[in-house]
Structure 1
Amino acid sequence: MTEAKPKQTMDFAPDALHFVPLGGAGEIGMNLNLYHHAGKWLMVDLGVSFGDETTPGVDIILPDTAFIEERLGDLVGIVVTHAHEDHLGAIPYLWEDLRVPVWCTPFAAGFLRAKLQETGLQDKVPIHVVPLGGKVKLGPFDLELISLTHSIPEPNALVIRTPAGTVLHTGDWKLDPDPVIGLLADEDALKKLGREGVTAMICDSTNAMVPGWSGSEAAVKDSLTELFGRWKETRIAVTCFASNVARLHSIALAAHAHGRRVALAGRSLWRINEVARANGYLTDLPPFLTEREAAFVPREKLLVICTGSQGEPRAALARIANDDHPDVVLERGDVVIFSAREIPGNEKSIAKIQNGLMRQGVQVVTADEEFVHVSGHPARDELVQMYQWVRPKVAVPVHGEHRHLTVHAALARDCQVPEVIVPDDGAAIRLAPGPAVTLGHVHAGKLCIDGKRIVPLSNMAMRGRTRMAQSGVSMVTLVMTPRGDLLADPKVTAMGLLEEDEITEEVADLTARVRDAVERLSKTARQDDAQVKEAARVAIRRSFNSSQGRKPLTEVHLVRI
């Protein structure tokens, strides 16, 4: 499944401690982190990212695991920090190339098992459940989980102890003083770790550019309770990240405070609800209504929680905005609250849904107008607090684009961290002994799910599809004698290039241009298939470049009779 690469022979000294990110460094999402010591490798997280307008036909992007596949005999396992897709979502697709056990906490295990059912691996992947705050030894790595807070239950920092040094891998986190669901961040454990001595901290950078603190989920609950009280005679819908179990809890409590029943609309919400209740979360709430049941609840007594906060075209809210949901209907005067921040790149998709809702006379409320969301990642003051507790010798910012990593690195230096390394995917970093240093780079590519295949994102088919989406496609068919005489007019087809009212005229012009280009070739050249095809291709591309400023992907089929 992975892209074939020559085996890389970089020397990883067995007595040293190394860090090699294959995803999530220089980007948000697709997290895959490797640690090396004593000849063994540990993988922390194996996540996905998602396609956009630059990857037509691709929804899911995966990290390329070719580097570690060459060393499978030395890979001791995968540890998952928490249950977000960008940290475990690639396991169902890539596990058969790795075939090692997975360790995670109960909620992440439940979520992963549900995802594995979609690929038929639920009985094949060995999943070891580690209790909150638990410890496990994998090869030369002594591991300890430290509970933190985030926008999903059971987020964990991972302490990795080796004879060469100790690493704190934070995963995704924040310092929420009232998280509504789950434990508080284990401040005592972090301080204790700082006193013991930490070689390096590999730390979340998502909100390194945001001043202050990220805010508390409990404050969002109070704000939603006040907001819901403003609309007494209308239907209310709220969209949020399905994985944010605390937000589901906050929305439900706020709705119940105003006598509203709560329904879920969207498959991923029901999956999270099932996993959450199986692990002891949301159990203080009555069962949620189905979409079908919601259709029979009076308008003023209903609140619907919907998938689709990021503009996903197949999500429940998109169908509601298009007025084609089979059960959930919004009317003029109803309200939709976007209880989430938009992920960069999703702005157009989200705007499309909001426009569809507004055309129906539905009021749209976002985090720009009202306090309906807090981030799950640490703002600058939280990062400072973490550095004060942990006091690492080396800071390695990850989980962010380069602008986030660079700002985070400057903050770490301000916090008096002696050494700071800003990595990118594939960087092979020696953390200890001696000064931290980047030794070089290993292969760290991207794969994608293309229909039923997993292929390199940069392969010929994907490059061609991108060109087709951006520049259109033209096809030319030529029928000639072996001596080079045209037996019929060239047949020209253009896709994604011509308006309906100009097709006849433009195709006639293109046909004439191709005929002229071929007939201007010498007699010898007309007998050469390659020269004939190139003349026709150039004629088409020059015509479109002159009229539209485009150079379409052009294929020429030549038949000699």
Structure 2
Amino acid sequence: MTQAKHLETKDFDPKELHFVPLGGAGEIGMNLNLYHHQGKWLMVDLGVSFGDETTPGVDIILPDTSFIEDRRADLLGIVVTHAHEDHLGAIPHLWEDLRVPVWCTPFTASFLKAKLVETGLQNKVPINIIPLGGKASIGPFDLELISLTHSIPEPNALVIRTSVGTVLHTGDWKLDPDPVIGLLADEDALKKLGREGVTAMICDSTNAMVPGTSGSEAAVQESFKELFGRFTDTRIAVTCFASNVARLHSIAVAANAHGRQVALAGRSLWRINEAARANGYLSDLPPFLTEREAGYVPREKLVVICTGSQGEPRAALARIANDDHPDVVLERNDVVIFSAREIPGNEKGIAKIQNGLMRQGIQVITADEEFVHVSGHPARDELVQMYQWVRPKIAVPVHGEHRHLTVHAALARDCQVPEVVVPDDGMVIRLGPGPAANLGHVHAGKLCIDGKRIVPLTNMALKGRTRMAQAGVSMVTLVMTPRGDLLADPKVTSIGLLEEDEVDEETADLIARVRLAIENLSKAARMDDAQVKDAARVAIRRSFSTSQGRKPLTEVHLVRI
């Protein structure tokens, strides 16, 4: 395979229109998209993804913005398609490095402002509000929002018109005929755009492997009504994505139909509730109860909506399952409904919570047993419908792993799209004029929030932590004379390697092995710090390799007196 050309500023022809994803092309989440024309850059979305067992101590992963930071003088701003974390969650963490205005719709602005408070940026980030279906001009980019449906209010496709072509950047979407909250997808605007001519469509690929359609939220609401009716004398808890305002509405309507009050448990649910009500959503519902107020409601008259559908250990449901929540308690025969699909990688955390609930005699219902969830992303029939309306000359699948992108690309070809480009992060794609082309690559990496620092995901500290988590750690302290004589037995401490009843015996054996390894060195070698440390390290690792089949991270401290 030939090495992709690395591009510099001089390689970007200002007369061309370029698309450069720095996140979200090859993974689900961490969306960061750049458009370049006439020497100026426009960013669409700046989101996060989340850590897993391979990133110990790291919860949030960010796209590396160093490429566009180097061109900050030509970056005009950030347009946010909707208020999900994987599309705007990185703004509070990375805005100081970019310092550009943000454009978004009213609900997204409310949600973003609340997040900016957490990093003290609420009075620093300029936020320009575009109304639903509105337009804006930002440098050489003329923008228009087209309303779609998704699992959060005010999702937008973004039309980007330039002197050399028009792009439809879909963001996240589906075609819900009855979305419960918000507007229907603007079919007329999409058809009109198709008639005008679309150079390229940059499109969501999350469910490109799923046949049929994604389903309607209204149908989920009716299913909840029927399901709640089966439980007449128990408490009901439902966990879902906090951002799914339509799901909150569906649960509340179903609860009210059976004379139940609804409480929210979890900070992110309250944040979404406040943003929704501030923009006119959920206005037909009574105020939700707090966790404390829920404790005074008879169990047969209560539904609690909880955070924690993805097994997050600090979320409300995890605390409830561990009987560690200060206000909300579940008892035998109560019901917990998981109204969300598992995100790949979260299976263990979800299973842990479900097992904990079931041990207490609590009923657990998931989307595998009952109709309690629909996806917010387009299945194959919806993708086909979008291609029929828009009829782009170029299809660029994004928002998916490579298996999703590849399947989406094949579907686009079946829909008679003349040109299809499957991107990865950092690829520079020329959209016009002329045929689409992969021009090369720019730097696209991953950062992470490690405590109070933002560091590369490949940093040495995280690598060391990962090695310790996987293989354990052993530390050796040596006290020697300058001539290489040991003044005391080596001190060996092992973490994550020995059982309590074997520490003394195994440590004594390790000490003997380290002493022997050093004594077997030549006199000249014992006077060389590097050779002494290496001999001790090898002795420890060989011992554990022989006894346990693992080679721990081993640190040797040498003091000469």
Give TM-score, length-normalised by structure 1. 0.98
CA distance in 2, matches of 1:283, 1:532: 73
Q: Name the residue aligned to 2:440.
A: 440
Q: What amino acid maps onto 2:227 in structure 1?
A: L
Q: Name the residue aligned to 2:175.
A: 175
Listed as ranges, the matches of 1:150-165 within 5 Å are 150-165=150-165
Q: Name the residue aligned to 2:35.
A: 35
Q: Relative to structure 1, is the Cα distance of residues 542 and 87 closer, same or farther in structure 2, using a 3 angstrom cutoff? A: same
Following TM superposition, by how much is the alpha carbon of 1:501 offset from its aligned partner in structure 2, in angstroms? Answer: 1.1
Listed as ranges, the matches of 1:359-374 within 5 Å are 359-374=359-374
Q: Name the residue aligned to 1:559.
A: 559
CA distance in 1, matches of 2:194, 2:289: 47
Q: What amino acid maps onto 1:162 in structure 2?
A: T
Decide whether the 8 Å contact of 2:32 with 2:43 is kept in 1: yes
Does the residue aligned with 1:143 lie in a helix, a strand or coil?
strand
CA distance in 1, matches of 2:549, 2:128: 57
Q: Name the residue aligned to 1:282.
A: 282
Decide whether the 8 Å contact of 2:7 with 2:442 is kept in 1: no
Q: Name the residue aligned to 1:420.
A: 420
Q: Name the residue aligned to 2:337.
A: 337
Q: What amino acid maps onto 1:535 in structure 2?
A: A
Decide whether the 8 Å contact of 1:367 with 1:373 is kept in 2: yes
Following TM superposition, by how much is the alpha carbon of 1:327 offset from its aligned partner in structure 2, in angstroms? Answer: 0.7
Decide whether the 8 Å contact of 1:135 with 1:143 is kept in 2: yes
Q: Name the residue aligned to 1:212.
A: 212
Does the residue aligned with 1:13 lie in a helix, a strand or coil?
coil
CA distance in 2, matches of 1:9, 1:254: 56
Q: Name the residue aligned to 1:382.
A: 382
Decide whether the 8 Å contact of 2:7 with 2:441 is kept in 1: no
CA distance in 1, matches of 2:63, 2:542: 39
Listed as ranges, the matches of 1:11-410 within 5 Å are 11-410=11-410
Does the residue aligned with 1:428 lie in a helix, a strand or coil?
strand
Decide whether the 8 Å contact of 1:475 with 1:556 is kept in 2: yes
CA distance in 2, matches of 1:553, 1:110: 47
CA offsets, 1:52-86, max 9 Å, x none? 00000000000000000111111110000000000
Does the residue aligned with 1:469 lie in a helix, a strand or coil?
helix
Q: What amino acid maps onto 1:103 in structure 2?
A: W
Decide whether the 8 Å contact of 1:320 with 1:328 is kept in 2: yes
CA distance in 2, matches of 1:443, 1:510: 46
- CA root-mean-square deviation: 0.8
Does the residue aligned with 1:144 lie in a helix, a strand or coil?
strand
Does the residue aligned with 2:506 lie in a helix, a strand or coil?
helix
Q: Name the residue aligned to 2:495.
A: 495
CA distance in 2, matches of 1:547, 1:168: 60
CA distance in 2, matches of 1:551, 1:168: 52
CA distance in 1, matches of 2:66, 2:481: 49
Decide whether the 8 Å contact of 1:8 with 1:67 is kept in 2: no
Decide whether the 8 Å contact of 1:136 with 1:143 is kept in 2: yes
Following TM superposition, by how much is the alpha carbon of 1:435 offset from its aligned partner in structure 2, in angstroms? Answer: 1.1
Q: Name the residue aligned to 1:548.
A: 548
Q: Name the residue aligned to 1:476.
A: 476
Following TM superposition, by how much is the alpha carbon of 1:431 offset from its aligned partner in structure 2, in angstroms? Answer: 0.7
Does the residue aligned with 1:269 lie in a helix, a strand or coil?
helix
Does the residue aligned with 1:305 lie in a helix, a strand or coil?
strand
CA distance in 2, matches of 1:421, 1:272: 36
Q: What amino acid maps onto 1:429 in structure 2?
A: I
Does the residue aligned with 2:201 lie in a helix, a strand or coil?
strand
Q: What amino acid maps onto 1:110 in structure 2?
A: S
Give TM-score, length-normalised by structure 2. 0.98
Following TM superposition, by how much is the alpha carbon of 1:10 offset from its aligned partner in structure 2, in angstroms? Answer: 5.5
Does the residue aligned with 2:345 lie in a helix, a strand or coil?
coil
CA distance in 2, matches of 1:540, 1:40: 57
Q: What amino acid maps onto 2:235 in structure 1?
A: R
Following TM superposition, by how much is the alpha carbon of 1:257 offset from its aligned partner in structure 2, in angstroms? Answer: 0.3
Following TM superposition, by how much is the alpha carbon of 1:9 offset from its aligned partner in structure 2, in angstroms? Answer: 4.2
CA offsets, 1:373-411, max 9 Å, x none? 000000000000000000000000000000000000000
Following TM superposition, by how much is the alpha carbon of 1:495 offset from its aligned partner in structure 2, in angstroms? Answer: 0.5
Following TM superposition, by how much is the alpha carbon of 1:372 offset from its aligned partner in structure 2, in angstroms? Answer: 0.2
Following TM superposition, by how much is the alpha carbon of 1:428 offset from its aligned partner in structure 2, in angstroms? Answer: 0.5
CA distance in 2, matches of 1:225, 1:546: 61
Q: Name the residue aligned to 2:449.
A: 449
Structure 1 spans left out of the alignment, 5+ residues: 1-5
Decide whether the 8 Å contact of 1:102 with 1:128 is kept in 2: yes
CA distance in 1, matches of 2:548, 2:171: 48
Q: Relative to structure 1, is the Cα distance of residues 546 and 365 closer, same or farther in structure 2, using a 3 angstrom cutoff? A: same
Q: What amino acid maps onto 1:467 in structure 2?
A: R
Question: Is 1:504 matched up with 2:516?
Answer: no
Following TM superposition, by how much is the alpha carbon of 1:300 offset from its aligned partner in structure 2, in angstroms? Answer: 0.3
Does the residue aligned with 1:547 lie in a helix, a strand or coil?
helix
Q: What amino acid maps onto 2:50 in structure 1?
A: F
CA distance in 2, matches of 1:51, 1:433: 40
CA offsets, 1:125-183, max 9 Å, x none? 00000000000000000000000000000000000000110000000000000000000
Does the residue aligned with 2:11 lie in a helix, a strand or coil?
coil
CA distance in 1, matches of 2:89, 2:284: 29
CA distance in 1, matches of 2:371, 2:131: 34
Structure 2 spans left out of the alignment, 5+ residues: 1-5
Does the residue aligned with 2:425 lie in a helix, a strand or coil?
coil
Does the residue aligned with 2:213 lie in a helix, a strand or coil?
coil
Q: What amino acid maps onto 1:438 in structure 2?
A: N
Q: What amino acid maps onto 1:220 in structure 2?
A: V
Decide whether the 8 Å contact of 2:19 with 2:34 is kept in 1: yes
Following TM superposition, by how much is the alpha carbon of 1:546 offset from its aligned partner in structure 2, in angstroms? Answer: 1.2
Q: What amino acid maps onto 1:503 in structure 2?
A: V
CA offsets, 1:401-427, max 9 Å, x none? 000000000000000000000000000
Q: What amino acid maps onto 1:460 in structure 2?
A: M
Q: Relative to structure 1, is the Cα distance of residues 340 and 10 closer, same or farther in structure 2, using a 3 angstrom cutoff? A: farther
Q: Name the residue aligned to 1:3.
A: none
Decide whether the 8 Å contact of 1:7 with 1:70 is kept in 2: no
CA distance in 1, matches of 2:290, 2:470: 41
Following TM superposition, by how much is the alpha carbon of 1:8 offset from its aligned partner in structure 2, in angstroms? Answer: 3.5
Q: What amino acid maps onto 1:549 in structure 2?
A: G
CA distance in 1, matches of 2:285, 2:548: 59
Does the residue aligned with 1:448 lie in a helix, a strand or coil?
strand
CA distance in 1, matches of 2:163, 2:205: 28
Following TM superposition, by how much is the alpha carbon of 1:7 offset from its aligned partner in structure 2, in angstroms? Answer: 9.2
Decide whether the 8 Å contact of 1:136 with 1:144 is kept in 2: yes
CA distance in 2, matches of 1:231, 1:29: 37
Decide whether the 8 Å contact of 1:78 with 1:101 is kept in 2: yes
CA distance in 1, matches of 2:447, 2:482: 44
CA offsets, 1:513-543, max 9 Å, x none? 1111111000000000000000000111111
Q: What amino acid maps onto 1:309 in structure 2?
A: S
CA distance in 1, matches of 2:8, 2:139: 23
Decide whether the 8 Å contact of 2:7 with 2:440 is kept in 1: no
CA distance in 2, matches of 1:56, 1:176: 38
Does the residue aligned with 1:125 lie in a helix, a strand or coil?
coil
